[in-house]
Structure 1
């Protein structure tokens, strides 16, 4: 097994630190030009030793393939206001040349049986170390605030029940997940109606001004 965990974690810690700065930088670029930012806020974490060892045993991952088979040692979570924002963030990540998309899992269109929704992207990110460049895998989870609220509660309950939910609780969690998604859908529709109304309002105002100029 890994002899020096501190040394093992360094490139992952550097990767999440750099990526968090870059994602926050994207948010500032949008707000700086007065546009809606698809990124609400960003959090990060690196797995603990205990979490890695537990997953190694559960998934039967060999030490030789630890850095390739365990894709979520480094994790970034991007929170968005609207579902459409999630896919905008996905497009932004795909277009970057300082990281490479390795895998994508759309749990929004294809939700998990539990009701879990989120968009997962695994990236290969190059970290500049003193002994050269090292590519590490980073998992990015992109979700709305409502999706994150549900996932946080579900995770806490999952820890308490060790993954074995009573059937009644499982059904309630699924209903809660659907309610959260309906809220996201409703808010997206409200946003679209507001944008359409603003477009019509400003369009009419522009036409009036043009008519005055013509006179």
Structure 2
């Protein structure tokens, strides 16, 4: 029997919309309190049907176990300014009563051989549907903007080469990842100076709130 994908994905679409709204709301709360927000950019997506089918085949996931074994059908990405912010966001998620952390993988400290860095969390999130509550899994990736730039480029190249990178390119990507993390490290060293400058810039003309970030207005 062929799956009705529109019906199947509907709660995941609702979950992504709700989670984006909640994390963007958290960001605005920090800004309204005139404090540094560990959350800078929030985006999300529901995995396309073709990608679900491909991954299901590659991982040998049966239809019956699709909802429990494929943890990233609903995906959220949170970008931060500083590495320290990543762990603050992790703590904020653990404190939430409306989502339960079921798995987490720290690729910031335990960097992958490719150079990839990010903090992954899988949460169980309850969606209120017409016929009752449905609890589903969603993956949250938390990374700095520098890490996100590298990961986006690497993902595009991976699609082109189907994971079989030429040796020279693989080495250059790894060096680029190390340079990217060095940038993050340097920014952390002068974090207080940066935050003070940002506050002066934002409030220098008596603004009641810092300017909206594009991600606060756009539904990605």
* C-alpha RMSD of the superposition: 1.3
Q: Number of residue pairs matched?
A: 196
- How many Å apart are 1:104 and its aligned residue? 0.4
Aligned residue runs from structure 1 range 23-172, under 5 A: 23-172=23-172
* Residue 12 (1) aligns with residue 12 (2): yes
Structure having the higher Rg:
1
Give, in whole Å, the separation in 2 of the partners of 1:123 and 1:194.
32
Deviating above 4 A after TM superposition, structure 1's stretches of 4 or more consecutive aligned residues are: 192-196
- How many Å apart are 1:194 and its aligned residue? 6.4
User: Higher relative contact order by CA 8 Å / sep ≥ 6: 1 or 2?
Assistant: 2
- How many Å apart are 1:190 and its aligned residue? 1.1
- How many Å apart are 1:195 and its aligned residue? 7.4
TM-score of the two chains, using structure 1 as the length reference: 0.89
Unmatched 5+ stretches in structure 2: 197-220
Q: Tell me which protein shows more helix as a share of its residues.
A: 1
Identify if the C-alpha distance between structure 1 residues 129 and 171 changes in structure 2 by more than 3 Å, giving closer, same or farther.
same
TM-score of the two chains, using structure 2 as the length reference: 0.87
| Aligned-partner SS, 1:38 | coil
